[in-house]
Amino acid sequence: MTQQLWTEVDHYLTDRLVHSDEALESALQNSAAAGLPEISVTPNQGKLLYLFALASGAERVLEIGTLGGYSTIWLGRALPPRGRLVTLEADPHHAEVAQANIARAGLAERVEMIVGPALETLPKLVERRLPPFDLTFIDADKVPTAEYFAWSLRLSHVGSLIIVDNVVRQGGVADAASDEPSVVGMRRLFDALADEPRVTATAVQTVGSKGHDGFVLALVTGEVD
């Protein structure tokens, strides 16, 4: 009953405020047809990412966890023509599906996809000495999220935003006794955030068509290098 209501409300909100289009719809359809798990951000969450990127004036975006590129398209659309998005994906099949979806959305020029486990590709990204990212969206496997956050911080500047998906896990995050690996992983993230003087952060619970979850929003306020 509750989940049904959350889903109905999400559909209502999305119908009123979130204009989908061919590129976004086909990204979801192609991903499902290719057997990818249906765990993309919802349309209203995708638009929230887009609005965070637009409002912060982000020109360089990092995404950890591409899947079929649905969130990539939302974030990529917030960029100015000279903007760049780097997205990291471990699964070559996901990466291939995403690449086609991103190209169909007209974003191939702005998006660089790096295929490989993020704990291997993030150090290489640091070695490239690229300009720092203005916004990072962390949404890959959940256990090493604290490590992804640490790497994201190294790739940020004062004023960068770091957004982390799936930090509530149906409420599991509040259970200190949980041995569920993603819950343990997210509690490590919150410990790292609580001890980190270079960021100021909050977290918000969400309900909707993907159930009960939440996200972290962290602003980098202290020098990171």
Distance CA 130, CA 118 (A): 17
* Candidate residues 139, 189, 199, 206; the one interacting with ligand DHB per rule CB under 6 A: 139
Q: Is 165 in the site for Mg ion (CB under 5 A)?
A: yes
Of 51-59, 95-103, 115-123, 166-174, the segment contacting Mg ion by CB under 5 A is 166-174
Q: Is 59 in the site for ligand DHB (CB under 6 A)?
A: no
Q: Is 183 in the site for ligand SAH (CB under 6 A)?
A: no
Other Cβ atoms less than 10 A from the Cβ of 106: the count is 12
> Mask 111-150, x = binds Mg ion (CB under 5 A)?
----------------------------x-----------
The nearest distance, CB 9 to Mg ion, in angstroms, is 20
Q: Is 65 in the site for ligand SAH (CB under 6 A)?
A: yes
Q: How many residues does the chain have?
A: 225
φ, ψ for residue 54, nearest 5 deg? -65, -45
HSE at residue 22, side-chain half, CA atoms within 13 A, is: 4
> Residue 66 or 206: which CB sits closer to ligand SAH?
66
Q: Which residues bind ligand DHB (CB under 6 A)?
A: 39, 139, 165-166
